[in-house]
């Protein structure tokens, strides 16, 4: 049986409860006519007369059951059983299209909670309301307290959810009877996939994208998702303090709506909600970069021993190297596993190489690779003491000074550096809307 049915109630300036009951009975009549396999024409006409006479709603059919339908006048046991069974499904009217065009459903997003942005697993957690608004001409002048249960309503799901996925469908609401403006609130709680570009880690930015798609039963021929037209800047709101999101600053948002052919050769409507994040690098600077820097600086103290004092030089270099290895072992679980070197990976490698070169120089001047004249020993020791610390200090500045300055100069209204373009046209840039307290942030 086809689940989506059509009903064409008259559009009136004011609909009474009896008008809605009659419209519901008309819908039930259409429902009976679309059952598959079809009911015999003579029986169908009789059943439709009964439905219209008693103003039977679709939901009443399931409640009445086989016995109730027989008492109503549907004497054929098989017909009564088929009707009762069909009415127990999710019966909906057809989308309220105008001129055959898909229903435009405008979305507003209210984020209740966001966090657990995991760099290692590249995922994030979100709980949000996805409020869908559309115009239904059949509800013009209707009573907001009596929204028919069979009324068409859009539905969607989070496509890139990876775990801890919960969805709550709230009752549909008539917001504006004069326009027939409807609201369907969907509440999602999900851990979703969040791929990151970590080459500049820990000074990287991120666009955490929540990917919402229409359910499989509702193609792009039924409805299309679009951002809230009455101010896209307010299409996404935060209902929590973004300052409490660990490790990240939420700078703003962008929204993109488009249609794409599915794997079943049916087009579906998509919406991408981009949350633009900036990592707070202080954790990694204090817990990794500073200890690693100090360990390497302490390694340079081996130059203060006499060139022929290999044991003390070796002990100093080896101790600092082991301290560095222990530090990396402890904090390694917090670092991303990538197939390329991040900014902090390069600094770690430079630090380890410098420590190793300090040890090798001690072996060279101690004669470990052959005797060296005493005046050359002093020169090698002196040049090593000057060159290696200078090189290491310059490398540290090279890796961390530019991004630190860039972060200090970053304005809340500056667009992200990474591309923000429409899905179907990379020449069309998406709007960037900062989060501002009492404009789109409410606590």
- Check residue 20 and give its pLDDT: 61
Inter-axis angle of helices 310-331 and 290-299, nearest 10: 170
pLDDT over 50 at 9, yes or no = no
Q: 115, 124 in Cβ contact below 8 A?
A: yes
Q: 147, 183 in Cβ contact below 8 A?
A: no
Give the CA dihedral 383, 389, 390, 391, nearest 10 degrees. Answer: 100
- DSSP type of residue 145: T
Instruction: Report, as an integer, the average pLDDT of 117-136.
Output: 95
pLDDT over 50 at 7, yes or no = no
What CATH code is assigned to 103-279+415-434?
2.70.170.10
Q: 128, 136 in Cβ contact below 8 A?
A: no
Among candidate residues 32, 60, 45, the one with its CA nearest the CA of residue 148: 60
pLDDT over 60 at 429, yes or no = yes
pLDDT over 80 at 88, yes or no = no
- How far is the C-alpha of 398 from the C-alpha of 48, rounded, in Å? 81
What residue ranges of the chain are covered by domains with CATH 2.70.170.10? 103-279+415-434
Q: 254, 431 in Cβ contact below 8 A?
A: yes
Q: 289, 400 in Cβ contact below 8 A?
A: yes
pLDDT over 60 at 29, yes or no = yes
C-alpha torsion sign, points 39, 43, 46, 47:
negative
What residue ranges of the chain are covered by domains with CATH 1.20.58.390? 283-409
- Check residue 44 and give its pLDDT: 85
Q: Which of 6-10, 43-47, 173-177 has the lowest mean pLDDT?
A: 6-10
- How far is the C-alpha of 159 from the C-alpha of 151, rounded, in Å? 25
Q: SS3 helix, strand, coil % of the chain, rounded to 5? A: 40, 25, 35
State CA 342 to chain mean position distance. Answer: 24
- How far is the C-alpha of 209 from the C-alpha of 223, rounded, in Å? 22
State percent of the chain over pLDDT 70. 93
- Check residue 3 and give its pLDDT: 40
> Structure tokens of 47?
């059943």
pLDDT over 90 at 418, yes or no = no
Instruction: Report, as an integer, the average pLDDT of 308-331.
Output: 87
Could you give the C-alpha distances from 270 to 110, 207, 215, 367, 388, in angstroms and in order?
Answer: 18, 17, 10, 70, 55
Instruction: Report, as an integer, the average pLDDT of 363-368.
Output: 76
Yes or no: domain 283-409 corresponds to CATH 3.90.320.10 = no
pLDDT over 70 at 235, yes or no = yes
């Amino acid at each position: 049986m086809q689940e989506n049915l059509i009903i064409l109630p008259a559009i009136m300036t004011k609909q009474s409860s009896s008008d809605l009951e009659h419209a519901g009975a008309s819908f039930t009549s259409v429902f009976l006519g679309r059952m598959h396999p079809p009911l015999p024409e003579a029986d169908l006409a009789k059943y439709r007369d009964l439905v219209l006479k008693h103003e039977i709603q679709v939901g009443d059919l399931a409640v009445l059951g086989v016995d109730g339908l027989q008492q109503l006048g549907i004497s054929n046991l098989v017909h009564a059983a088929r009707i009762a069974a069909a009415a127990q499904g999710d019966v909906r009217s057809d989308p309220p299209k105008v001129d055959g065009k898909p229903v435009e459903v405008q979305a507003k997003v209210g984020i209740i909670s966001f966090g657990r942005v995991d760099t290692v697993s590249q995922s994030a957690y979100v709980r949000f309301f996805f409020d869908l608004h559309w115009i239904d001409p059949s509800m013009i002048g209707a009573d907001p307290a009596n929204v028919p249960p069979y009324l068409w309503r859009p539905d969607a799901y989070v496509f890139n959810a990876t775990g801890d996925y919960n969805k709550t469908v709230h009752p549909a609401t008539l917001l504006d009877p004069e326009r027939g403006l409807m609201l369907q609130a969907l509440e999602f709680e999900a851990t979703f996939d969040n791929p990151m570009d970590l080459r500049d880690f820990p000074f990287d930015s991120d666009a955490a994208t929540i990917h919402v798609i229409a359910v499989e039963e509702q193609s792009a021929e039924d409805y299309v998702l679009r951002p809230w037209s009455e101010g896209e800047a307010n299409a996404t709101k935060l209902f929590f303090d973004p300052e409490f999101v660990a490790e990240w600053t939420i700078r703003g948002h962008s929204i993109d709506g488009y249609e794409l052919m599915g794997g079943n050769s049916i087009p579906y409507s998509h919406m991408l909600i981009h949350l633009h994040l900036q990592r707070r690098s202080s954790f990694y600077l204090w817990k990794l970069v500073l200890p690693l820097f100090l360990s390497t600086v302490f390694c340079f103290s081996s130059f203060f021993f006499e060139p022929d004092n290999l044991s003390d030089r070796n002990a100093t270099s080896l101790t600092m190297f082991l301290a560095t290895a222990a530090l990396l072992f402890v904090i390694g679980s917090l670092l991303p596993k990538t197939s390329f070197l991040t900014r902090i990976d390069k600094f770690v490698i430079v630090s380890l190489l410098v420590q190793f070169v300090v040890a090798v120089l001690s072996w060279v001047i101690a004669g470990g690779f052959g005797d060296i004249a005493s005046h050359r020993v002093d020169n090698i020791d002196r040049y090593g003491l000057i060159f290696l610390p200078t090189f290491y200090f310059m490398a540290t500045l090279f890796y961390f000074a530019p991004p630190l300055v860039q972060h200090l100069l970053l304005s809340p209204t500056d667009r992200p550096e990474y591309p923000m373009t429409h899905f179907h046209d990379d020449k069309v840039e998406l709007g960037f809307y900062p989060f501002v307290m009492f404009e789109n942030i409410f606590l």
